[in-house]
């Protein structure tokens, strides 16, 4: 019924048990996200060893090494369906050199995605202008702005660049009015749902470790927010997932 379009299974204490609970909650497919070279083999093992699980490979801005060329060696694998998580995060980074390194590795990975005709998974926080500038430089690349917390103006520009917007459990938080505005306005055909597990557990699981099965709670909240049936939201977000990540079979 549901797809968790973004989680980090390899960071869960017991991925097998979490997968079993996810399937019991109607979450039968998910994308396990790579964020750093040191842990990429763990991510790939999740996809290799479990049906309905795929992997992405990328270098997160928080793991920025200054050179993400290593990503390329994994992109021909059939179970790798996207490049990322990549992007820009300026929230706690004031140093111009560090920000420049983030932009460099982001651009590297966008180029790799173009070379391999793969979609991208973009992390963006407090870096609207530079994020939009970089994705605009690569018009052949499609992707998703994941765990979106920025403005509707940014979302609207990303949508115009053929990107999707993914909503996490943050939308259920009391202080997330901006996220709810975006979640209401994104067109049906561009909306994805995610957990970003093990972080950001939605209400009613706040304070717990997040896990893929909890995407069902986010979906129910979103369905109510958007005035649709849960089954309808589950269906079109699932279709969107397979349209964007078209290597997932």
pLDDT greater than 90 at residue 249: no
Tens of pLDDT, residue by residue over 175-193, are 999 999 999 999 999 999 9
Q: Using CA atoms, how far apart are residues 228 and 52, in angstroms rounded to an integer?
A: 26
Place of tokens 């590297």: 108
Going from N- to C-terminal start, the domains of the chain cover 2-244
Average confidence (pLDDT) over 14-24: 97
CA nearest 192: which of 103, 115, 82?
Answer: 82
Three-state secondary-structure class, residue 167: strand
CA nearest 101: which of 138, 137, 59?
Answer: 59
In this structure, what token pair is assigned to residue 83?
A: 């490049």
CB atoms closer than 10 angstroms to residue 169: 27
- Mean pLDDT over each residue of the chain, to the nearest integer: 97
For 49, 116, 165, 217, 224, the CA distances from 170, given in Å and listed in that order, are 30, 32, 14, 11, 15
pLDDT greater than 90 at residue 77: yes
Tens of pLDDT, residue by residue over 206-220, are 999 999 999 999 999
Q: 190 near 159, Cβ under 8 Å?
A: yes
Q: What is the pLDDT of residue 153?
A: 98
Residue 200 CA, distance from chain mean position = 13
Tens of pLDDT, residue by residue over 212-246, are 999 999 999 999 999 999 999 999 999 999 999 99
Fold of domain 2-244? TIM Barrel (3.20.20)
User: Residue 2: in which H helix or E strand, if any?
Assistant: strand 2-7
Q: 119 near 113, Cβ under 8 Å?
A: yes
Q: What is the pLDDT of residue 192?
A: 98
User: Residue 164: in which H helix or E strand, if any?
Assistant: strand 163-167
Q: What is the pLDDT of residue 116?
A: 98
pLDDT greater than 90 at residue 161: yes
Q: Using CA atoms, how far apart are residues 91 and 130, in angstroms rounded to an integer?
A: 13
pTM: 0.97
Instruction: Identify the bridge partners of residue 54 per DSSP, sorted by sequence position.
Output: 31
Q: 209 near 229, Cβ under 8 Å?
A: no
Phi then psi dihedrals of residue 165, to 5 deg: -120, 130
Q: Using CA atoms, how far apart are residues 247 and 61, in angstroms rounded to an integer?
A: 25
Q: Using CA atoms, how far apart are residues 98 and 79, in angstroms rounded to an integer?
A: 32
Q: What is the pLDDT of residue 37?
A: 97
In this structure, what token pair is assigned to residue 151?
A: 């403005």
Tens of pLDDT, residue by residue over 87-132, are 999 999 999 999 999 999 999 999 999 999 999 999 999 999 999 9
Longest alpha-carbon distance in the chain: 48
Q: 183 near 171, Cβ under 8 Å?
A: yes
């Amino acid at each position: 019924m549901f797809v968790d379009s973004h989680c980090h299974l390899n960071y869960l204490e017991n991925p097998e048990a979490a997968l079993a609970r996810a399937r019991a909650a109607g979450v039968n497919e998910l994308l396990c996200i790579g964020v750093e070279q040191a842990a990429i083999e763990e991510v790939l093992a999740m996809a290799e060893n479990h049906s309905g699980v795929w992997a992405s490979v990328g270098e997160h801005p928080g793991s920025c090494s200054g050179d993400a060329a290593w990503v390329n060696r994994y992109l021909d694998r059939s179970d790798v369906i996207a490049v990322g998580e990549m992007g820009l995060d300026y929230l706690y980074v004031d140093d111009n050199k560090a920000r420049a390194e983030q932009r460099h590795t982001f651009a590297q990975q966008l180029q790799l995605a173009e070379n391999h005709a793969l979609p991208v998974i973009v992390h963006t926080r407090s870096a609207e202008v530079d994020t939009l500038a970089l994705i605009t430089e690569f018009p052949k690349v499609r992707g998703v702005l994941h765990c979106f917390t920025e403005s509707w103006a940014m979302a609207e520009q990303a949508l115009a660049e053929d990107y999707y917007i993914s909503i996490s459990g943050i939308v259920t938080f009391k202080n997330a009015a901006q996220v709810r505005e975006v979640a209401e306005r994104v067109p049906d055909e561009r909306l994805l749902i995610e957990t970003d597990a093990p972080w950001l557990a939605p209400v009613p699981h706040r304070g717990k470790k997040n896990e893929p099965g909890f995407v069902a709670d986010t979906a129910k909240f979103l369905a109510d927010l958007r005035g649709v049936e849960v089954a309808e939201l589950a269906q079109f977000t699932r279709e969107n997932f397979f349209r964007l990540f078209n290597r997932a079979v």
